[in-house]
Amino acid sequence: MAQLEPISNQLQASGAQLVYIAAEKRAAMWNPERFLERQPVAFPFLLDEDRAVTKAYGLHHRIGMDGINIARPATLVIDGKRVVRYIYRGEHQRDRAPVEEVMGAVEKVAAE
C-alpha cells in the first residue's frame, strides 16, 4: 500500500481502480480496522478472511521463513474483462512490485 498510495491520483487518471486485499481475519491480532483508522487509504480495502482469493491467484504461502498460512505480497493488474495482465508475487513479506512496472502495466491496459 505504501508504494502505491502516493500515486493514487495517477492511477485514477489512467482509469485504473486500486483495491487492497488482505488475507486476514477481521478479529485477528493485526486488527485491520484499527490499522485503517491510523493509516487511511484512498482505495477500497477488502479482507480475504477465508483466503479464497489468495489461493485462487496462487498467493497463499502455507509455510515459510517469514510466516505460516499467510499470503505472499502481490500486485495484479486486471483489465476490464477480468483478465490478469500483470502479476508480481513477492518472494517474502517485504518484496513489493516496482512502481514503474505497475504503472507501465496500467498504462498498457489503458491504451488498449
Q: List the pLDDT tens digit at each of the 112 positions of the chain.
A: 778 888 888 888 888 888 888 888 888 878 888 888 898 888 888 899 998 998 998 888 776 666 666 788 888 898 888 898 999 988 888 889 999 999 999 999 999 8
- Residue 11 sits in a domain whose CATH number is 3.40.30.10
Structural domain range at position 102: 5-111
Residue from 77, 75, 103 nearest 90 by CA: 75
Domain total of the chain: 1
Q: What is the rounded radius of gyration, in angstroms, for the C-alpha atoms of the chain?
A: 14
Q: Is 5 exposed, middle or buried (0-12, 13-18, 19+ CB in 10 A)?
A: middle
Residues 6+ apart with CB under 8 A from 41: 1, 5, 20
Residue in this structure with the C-alpha cell 512490485, named with its chain if needed: 97
Confidence (pTM): 0.78
